[in-house]
Structure 1
């Protein structure tokens, strides 16, 4: 493909559409914000800080989605992990590093439970993960906590949740950006990443290529549960308490951002750059509305309009190439019939 063809392909890509929307949002809120404070270091840090948990959840749920599955349980898993961490640290007195390992293992166990129910009993992943999250994980968080918030005073955990590099950038921001970068490299540059795309695009083709999509789903659901637990650890560390509502409400917006960022419901398409841009657009947009003193109710309406606008622009950006592909396929079929 020549340079002109590559440029044309880029301008029609989801990444370009997202980057253009982000640029328009940044210019608009920079212009209307008091003293152009929207692009101040502190406000950029605030936007990134608001994205920390969403990044971890989005990275986790995007992997099963790439495989053509769905995971709604990580938010509840995060709450259970946060409650368990507070219980083990405060009431039992276990060292922080063992507690973190135990919480991550809890997340992996939930993810494997999801995969077993999906693969062995052939239940839809949407139903399984919602049930495991809202009933099993939520029930465990209530049992562990005894129905009450548990304070956390371990100095290492408190540092993890509250320390700011240079007094501005939270260490959790650095952690979350590192996570999405690592997973982006894994998807784009490794054989394992290519196997996810191939299995999500066509499981039959994946099996013919010697891959095992079911075994892959165990790994990806376990990974999603682990990242959900890790998000719950950071959330509890930030609040210094194992809260009963915890991260329950975080997973679904993360899924929305993943789809917004171009990871297809049917699997086999999307990347972490698009996922990150989707999160940045949604959180940056909400931050700008907060600066303009727009109430949270109208923020929800505006975010919905933004999502519809992005999907519409993406549809028109890709409509012509799709029509060309259909036309070429029709010509090939006609030629084959003529022969």
Structure 2
């Protein structure tokens, strides 16, 4: 198992390095400038918050397509509350509460009504997007609170972004949880075989509820790094977390993946986004290219899953 994981990580690292080299040459070295590398690292926070939740759910055998919309709703509500005069901490807690409600509702649909998670989360995405537009009236809301702005764009010692530090700490904490705790092992067991895990004494529904709520809360924490809460954020980042997790080797079939690979997937996606901007690619083509990247990631996941099933046979 360790050898297999090491091989997968090596492949992911090679993909990341290859991407950097190719786009570095195409951009004439602009991709590798100090300021641009800093921009890439600063942009990891939003994708990280979405990718961690997506990865954990996928490892457990579920999927959440609503995280972009839920995160946007949380950001809009937090910005609206602060604009109305509420201090930043209560406003952020209200955003987190919205995440809890959205995650719990989705989990209830999946576990009690047996609705497939991709259908339930598509419905939740539509609901969250509608409420978000209602809150802001279709326009963006400026975030002027100094604490939120510092968390989103401030730097430790004027060099290391606070947002990047938070992302790395979260990835480390969740990585340790996955590999070193009983709950982490239960996530893999539920994803590998839900019925077998139930027969072993685990409660798959409890695991599912915890992960859906966790993913929604992480998505709403996106509000903690935004200068402007924009209803278009749903469209811009709807599938970023999912794409990063799949690029990082998390299987849609469940039971495999980890935070190390997810981190590399985040970097691959962020480098791709940044590189297409640096080389002057039209925004429409950028959207198309990102969709193609997701298709490639899904195809690779399909090939790996098929190979693993053939080995078992």
Normalising to structure 1: TM-score of the pair? Answer: 0.82
Match in the other structure for 2:267: 280
Deviations along 1:123-142, whole A, 9 cap, x unmatched? 1111111111212x223223
Deviations along 1:171-226, whole A, 9 cap, x unmatched? 21221222122111111111111000001101122112210000111110000110
Seen in structure 2, the aligned counterparts of structure 1 residues 209 and 279 have a Cα distance that, compared at 3 Å, is same
- Bigger Rg, which one: 1
Match in the other structure for 1:19: 13
Within the alignment, does 1:262 sit opposite 2:249 as a pair?
yes
Match in the other structure for 2:52: 59
Please give the alpha-carbon distance, in whole angstroms, between the structure 1 residues aligned to 2:266 and 2:61: 21
Please give the alpha-carbon distance, in whole angstroms, between the structure 2 residues aligned to 1:57 and 1:98: 22
Please give the alpha-carbon distance, in whole angstroms, between the structure 2 residues aligned to 1:107 and 1:294: 35
Tell me by how many angstroms 1:247 deviates: 3.6
- SS of the aligned residue for 1:121 comes to coil
Once the two structures are overlaid, the 10-residue window that deviates more, 187-196 or 173-182, is 173-182
Please give the alpha-carbon distance, in whole angstroms, between the structure 1 residues aligned to 2:133 and 2:292: 37
Match in the other structure for 1:145: 136
Within the alignment, does 1:87 sit opposite 2:80 as a pair?
yes
| Structure 1: runs of 5 or more not aligned | 330-339
1:158-173 matches, cutoff 5 A: 158-173=149-164
C-alpha contact 1:69 1:125 (8 A) present in aligned 2:
yes
C-alpha contact 2:75 2:220 (8 A) present in aligned 1:
yes
Please give the alpha-carbon distance, in whole angstroms, between the structure 2 residues aligned to 1:313 and 1:143: 39
Match in the other structure for 2:90: 98
Please give the alpha-carbon distance, in whole angstroms, between the structure 2 residues aligned to 1:215 and 1:149: 37
Match in the other structure for 1:118: 110
Match in the other structure for 2:69: 76
- SS of the aligned residue for 2:61 comes to coil
Query: What is the total number of aligned residue pairs between the two structures?
Result: 313
Please give the alpha-carbon distance, in whole angstroms, between the structure 1 residues aligned to 2:41 and 2:114: 39
Please give the alpha-carbon distance, in whole angstroms, between the structure 1 residues aligned to 2:157 and 2:193: 48
Deviations along 1:42-87, whole A, 9 cap, x unmatched? 2221112222211110111222211111111111111211121122
Within the alignment, does 1:234 sit opposite 2:225 as a pair?
yes
C-alpha contact 1:55 1:254 (8 A) present in aligned 2:
yes
Once the two structures are overlaid, the 10-residue window that deviates more, 149-158 or 66-75, is 149-158
Tell me by how many angstroms 1:30 deviates: 3.6
Tell me by how many angstroms 1:147 deviates: 4.2
Normalising to structure 2: TM-score of the pair? Answer: 0.88
Please give the alpha-carbon distance, in whole angstroms, between the structure 2 residues aligned to 1:168 and 1:221: 35
Deviations along 1:298-326, whole A, 9 cap, x unmatched? 44555566666667778888988776x35
Seen in structure 2, the aligned counterparts of structure 1 residues 120 and 284 have a Cα distance that, compared at 3 Å, is same
Tell me by how many angstroms 1:145 deviates: 2.8
Tell me by how many angstroms 1:289 deviates: 3.2
C-alpha contact 2:153 2:225 (8 A) present in aligned 1:
no
Please give the alpha-carbon distance, in whole angstroms, between the structure 2 residues aligned to 1:315 and 1:161: 36
Please give the alpha-carbon distance, in whole angstroms, between the structure 2 residues aligned to 1:201 and 1:109: 27
Tell me by how many angstroms 1:260 deviates: 2.0
Seen in structure 2, the aligned counterparts of structure 1 residues 126 and 48 have a Cα distance that, compared at 3 Å, is same
Structure 1 vs Structure 2 CA RMSD: 2.7
| Structure 2: runs of 5 or more not aligned | none
Match in the other structure for 1:210: 201
